[in-house]
Copies of this chain bind each other. A is one copy, B any other.
Amino acid sequence: MKGIRQLAEHLAISIGTVSRALNGRPDVNEETRRRVLAAAEALGYVANQSGRSLRQGETKVIGLMIESSAEAVENADNFFLGVTSGLQHVFTRHKLDLLMLPCPSDEDPCEYLKRMVARRVVDAMIISNMQRVDRRVDLLSRARIPFIAVGRSLSAGNFPWIDLDFEGVAERAVERLVARGHRRIAITAPSSEVNLGYVFVESYRRALEQHGLPFDPSLVIRVKSSEQGGYQAAHELLLLEDRPTAVILIYELMAIGLYRRLMESGVLPGRDLAVIGFRDAPRARFLQPSLSCFRMSLYDLGVALGQMLLARMPAYREFYSEAGGNMIWPLELVAGESDAFQLTEA
């Protein structure tokens, strides 16, 4: 089946009526609609998206931009696939399709986005991996493309985002460790300019302050957000003169490499060093001793992102309360054995 014209000819009615029937317009005879739908089904007709998009000025596609940098490829823990389900749950109701736009690692993310937006392949965008200063925010704002970001950024005053509750994580982790007698608490931070690193370190600094503990820059260990980074972090940690008694990790998979390096040196997590991980990851669940970490539902985050995005789109606004511009996504502590010991005064 080629186009609507062929379908109309086959039914011996006009293309206008076919279109109206297919699109559920009320002003169509029910018998006619039935015939049209049956014929479309039988002949496998589905409207050409380019034709629709061109006419309607919208594509019915939402884009999720992801970056396939070498680091991401090696280490991403399928954060996005998880979020995707939740997003689709929301979008499906409105017959919107979600497409993932992978930015090639050798292309500037902002240029890539500009190209995709200008070509009008999507009606709205979800961006993530927010940088401290992120030109994409400006780009999308100026182009008036509805968008939502997974993560805060210093860029622009006011744009919609949902970010993980790094403050809460840092606060509860520090509190928990302090309660167990720790005074020298290290933290890992990403070596890149991704904004969450800054947010996390700052939250940690404030949490220490609340407990009257000094902030020691040498305890902020900057490494790649990967298992290798975790290994490296443990390595650096072991070399510190006045070795910390606890460490808080920023990235879910770091724990695996960290454990490995610690054990090579006979340092046992949960006995010689308290470890608190970040997001609960399936891969990390098998760690021994079990890792204290924070849990969240990627699916629910996806749903929230989807709803907040649609609330910004004129065509769907009515279905969703604006619900403010942005949101801090809570994480729940999952207590493990990796920080269960009480530190005895050395």
Q: Are A88 and B76 in contact (CB under 8 A)?
A: no
By the criterion CB–CB under 8 Å, are B46 and A115 in contact? yes
Least CB separation from A46: chain B residue: B118
**CB neighbors of B among A271-299 (8 A):** 282-283, 285-286, 288, 298
A245 within 8 A of B: no
* Shortest distance between the CB of A218 and any CB in chain B (Å): 26
Identical chains bound together, number: 2
Contact of A231 among B49, B66, B85, B286 (CB under 8 A): B286
Please, how many angstroms separate the alpha-carbon atoms of A88 and B68 in the complex? 10
Does the CB pair B88–A81 fall under 8 Å?
no
Q: Is the CB of B68 within 8 A of A73?
A: no
A232 contacts B by Cβ under 8 Å:
no
Partner pick for A282 among B47, B74, B263, CB 8 A cutoff: B74
Task: Give every chain B residue within 8 A of A51 (Cβ-Cβ).
Answer: 50, 54
**Binary B-proximity of A94-133 (CB < 8 A = 1, otherwise 0):** 0001111110110000000011101111000000000000
CB within 8 A of A118: which of B44, B104, B259, B283?
B44
Mark out the residues of chain A between 203 and 261 whose CB falls within 8 Å of any chain B CB in the assembled complex: 226-228, 231, 253, 256-257, 259-260
* A102 touching B88, Cβ below 8 Å: yes
Known: A68-B85, A76-B81, A88-B102. A49 touches B283 (CB 8 A): no
Asked if A19 is an interface residue, CB under 8 A from chain B, the answer is: no
Known: A78-B73, A227-B282. A104 touches B121 (CB 8 A): no
- Of chain B, the residue at the smallest CB distance from A253 is B283
Q: A interface, by DSSP: helix, strand, loop or mixed?
A: helix
Residue among A45, A99, A257 facing the most chain B CB atoms (10 A cut-off): A99
Contact A88/B100 with A73-B81, A227-B282 known, Cβ cut-off 8 Å: no
Residues of B within 8 A of A68 (CB): 81, 84-85, 88
Contacts of A66 in B (CB 8 A): 81, 100
A265 interfacial contact with B, CB 8 Å: no
A330 within 8 A of B: no
| A72 lies within 8 A of chain B by Cβ | yes
The smallest C-beta distance from A123 to any residue of chain B, in angstroms, reads: 11
Q: Is residue A29 within 8 Å, beta carbon to beta carbon, of the partner chain?
A: no
**Which residues of B have CB within 8 Å of A259?**
286
A326 within 8 A of B: no
Cβ contacts A42-71/B at 8 Å (1 or 0 each): 001111111101100001010000101010
Q: B283 touching A119 by the CB < 8 A rule?
A: no
Question: What B residues does A120 contact at CB under 8 A?
Answer: 48-50
New contact pairs (13) apart from A49-B50, A73-B81, A97-B121, CB-CB < 8 Å: A46-B119, A50-B59, A66-B100, A68-B85, A68-B88, A72-B81, A74-B78, A81-B102, A99-B121, A100-B101, A228-B282, A260-B286, A283-B283
A73 in contact with B298 (CB, 8 Å): yes
Distance from A187 Cβ to chain B, minimum over Cβ atoms (Å): 21
A75 within 8 A of B: yes
